[in-house]
Amino acid sequence: MEKKKVLLCVSGGIAVFKAAALTSKLVQNGYDVKVMMTSSAQQFVTPLTFQALSRDRVYTNTFEEKDPAKIAHIDVADWADLVVIAPATANIIGKLANGIADDMITTTLLATRAPVMVAPAMNVNMYAHPAVLRNMQTLEGYGYTFVEPNEGYLACGYEGKGRMTEPEDLIEMIDYHFTKLAYKNWNGKKVLVTAGATREKVDPVRFFTNRSTGKMGYAIANEAAKRGAEVILISGQTSLTPPHGVRVINVQSAEEMYEAVMRAFPDQDIVIKSAAVADYKPKMTFEQKMKKQEGPWKIEMERTKDILKELGEKRTKQILIGFAAESENIEKYARKKLESKKVDMIAANSISSPGSGFEGDTNEVILFKRTGDSVTIPMSTKTEVAKILLDEALTFQKGSIE
């Protein structure tokens, strides 16, 4: 994407130090940043700090016009691709909700036509006050996007919701905003992704599972959401943080995965099954822990439902993509799965190749298509693999996805 312009409006509060970190991270991520500060914000951190971090002048005074050819607050209002208010105090939120323009930030905000993202930061009781809630609802009605504060220990000594969102999370949301604009053909697309490992219970202590961490599926869900798709992520066991903008449904067993997928499937445009679902489960389970005994313990196993095969038989308009983690004869087994499951693509990879497969952050994949051709994705990060996979999914010629 071309370099995007972000206007960061900083109002007064102890969270101003986070705004300084956010400025630095925005610049590091390739954004062009201008900073505005209220007089209260300057009591916590000086404009010089933000000037050094943004590598640009800091705007503090409506009446300070350094260029006589321009009206500063109008010029900056027109310049911005996105306005971020962080931290946003109850005071600044109240002013904007009621059309008050009595300083540099409020006059600029009323003049801009750029999208506005608001990161509140205040005492927990202030955040819950009816007047503040009403003002936030008013601004949401104007199209402002609010980033909910975190819960935790506050500078005032209270504990609760009111801590400004961390700079890393705000960067993710800003990236998401611009990526979504860049991929307009994904807006409104409905994508279902499965990820992670299932657990098949033996007793309250023991279960059968596999080495899948869910990293590939989470990378696909994250990238699809960034592009503006409506994403459902049905996740087995994993320690990963859910991607922003994704609806996550957590499951444990193959049966739970089956039920969740089947409920969501009919409305989807693209379905990508990257979860490592158990092929077998114990035929008998125990409600109490099985005690150690003399001699071997034999556990009879039975097949679980073949989710991908059933999707292939039931699908109507959906693009359907499966994964095949193989240790040998990759193409042979992948093409066999492509045919037997009636899917559009199989993403196959070797679990025995260094850097490919479970647990790592990289993958090497071959996409086998039902049209007969294939696409090789060389060793890349799982995020890069996800991008190519989604590009191929969208361009696959079928029905309403064309």
Does 125 lie in the same domain as 224? no
Q: What is the pLDDT along the chain (402 residues), one digit of tens a residue?
A: 578 999 999 999 899 999 999 999 999 999 999 999 999 999 999 999 999 999 999 999 988 877 777 788 899 999 999 999 999 999 999 999 999 999 999 999 999 999 999 999 998 889 999 999 999 999 999 999 999 888 776 677 767 777 899 999 999 889 888 888 888 889 889 999 999 999 999 999 999 999 899 999 999 999 999 898 999 999 999 989 888 889 999 999 999 999 999 999 999 999 999 999 999 999 999 999 999 888 898 999 999 999 999 999 999 889 999 999 888 888 898 899 999 999 999 999 877 777 776 778 898 899 999 988 999 999 999 999 999 999 999 887 444 443
Query: How far apart (Å, rounded) are the C-alpha atoms in residues 7 and 28?
Result: 15
Of 159, 178, 197, the residue that ends a domain is 178
Q: Do 217 and 144 fall within a single domain?
A: no
Where does a domain end: 178, 203, 223?
178
CA–CA dist 310, 304 (Å, integer): 12
Give the residue carrying structure tokens 């037997």.
Answer: 340
Burial class (CB in 10 A: 0-12, 13-18, 19+), 28: exposed
Catalogue the active-site residues: 156
Range(s) of the domain holding residue 61: 5-178
Q: Would you say 227 and 390 are in contact if contact means Cβ atoms under 8 Å apart?
A: yes
- Of 154, 178, 202, at which residue does a domain stop? 178
| Residue whose token pair is 């903008």 | 245
